[in-house]
Amino acid sequence: MTAPAKILVVFGTRPEAIKLFPVVAALEADPRFTPVVCVSAQHRQMLDQVLEIAGIVPDHDLDLMKPDQTLDGLTAALLTELGRVMDEVSPARVIVQGDTATAMAGALAAYYRKIPVDHVEAGLRSGNIYHPWPEEVNRKIIGQIASLHFAPTEVAAGALIAEQVDPARVLVTGNTVIDALHWVTARIEADPALAAGLAQLEGKFAGKRIIGVTTHRRENFGGGMENIAEAIRQIAARPDVAVIFPVHLNPNVRAVMNSALAGLDNVAMIEPLDYPHFARLLSIAEIMLTDSGGVQEEAPALGKPVLVMRETTERPEGVTAGTAKLVGTETANIVTEIFTLLDDKAAYEAMARAHNPFGDGQTARRIVERLGNEIGR
């Protein structure tokens, strides 16, 4: 009997963990595979929260992140340490997700060893190598290396084919973030205590219209982050509104937000949320204001409009479908767009009821089925 194929699953950030734990679970459930999990801990605390709720104990934990680490220093450490793990494990294939430094270095380390790389959430393109930075170049590099490209949408698949990727190596799967959201929502319904930590804020803001905020993009550091902070200040001045803002750990975010927003009664600046509590925030928020990629996919699955504080997005499907809108980082524009959704019921309903283009919750199953076909060859 043929031994199960070892599949090395590499990730390092909270979003990667959320989007890959359904794939790990699907691999574990399939006797053809033995998943081996390697985490870089590019996000230490936020990563660990997802690992705990998903019940994943990494086989290899590199714990590489250091305070104020440069991108080139991080990339060098990732490439060296991920290569060492690959030499030890000798996997049949390597899976990476998205566009982080961990994913790019994982793909490159595998390429150096001629190990096939499979890219989950392949084909996202903004068309600008500095927005998002450095993610746009990271994912383009992975796209040149990958053996299989698991594209979340037809648009993403089209972007890959336009770059001369063999269409036979591209599979439209949906996005695993929807699998994860369905899983955690069901867990919360079965055990509400998993997300009970927001109960006090929900009580404090009862009767108010909650705006959920996340921001962390490097290209928004500096003036963009200051504009965002001022927009939140102006939005929170409305007596009918409350803002719940899990503040990213990066000091480039925290220092600006603490300076601008401390002491405002209608703004709750809280520590980053674990995954169940973030899912709860999505469910109680009326609008999500974000520069995150994942929120553009997750919020529409719960019928919540997303205003994206970026000039471009690698997820244009949401904009086309009407679930998301690009608002940039100019204070006046952010405030105007939020107020439009708060005050114009038709505008709100048009976004809230738009079809989510990012999947049906069966993405991990499709990925593992295709991997099975590939191993079978």
Active site residues: 99, 121, 135, 216, 218, 248
Q: Cα 140 to chain center, whole Å? A: 17
Q: In this structure, how many other beta carbons lie within 10 angstroms of the beta carbon of residue 233?
A: 17
Instruction: Please check whether residue 334 is in contact with residue 226, taking contact to mean a CB–CB distance below 8 angstroms.
Output: no
State the greatest distance between any 2 C-alpha atoms of the chain, in Å, as a whole number: 68
Measured distance CA(37)–CA(27) in Å, rounded: 11
Please list, in sequence order, all residues whose beta carbon lies within 8 angstroms of the beta carbon of residue 97, skipping any fewer than 6 positions away.
Answer: 11, 16, 19, 20, 23, 103, 119, 120, 121, 176
ω before 251 within 30° of 0 (cis)?
no
- Determine the 3-state secondary structure of 243 from DSSP: strand
Instruction: Please check whether residue 111 is in contact with residue 26, taking contact to mean a CB–CB distance below 8 angstroms.
Output: no
ω before 272 within 30° of 0 (cis)?
no
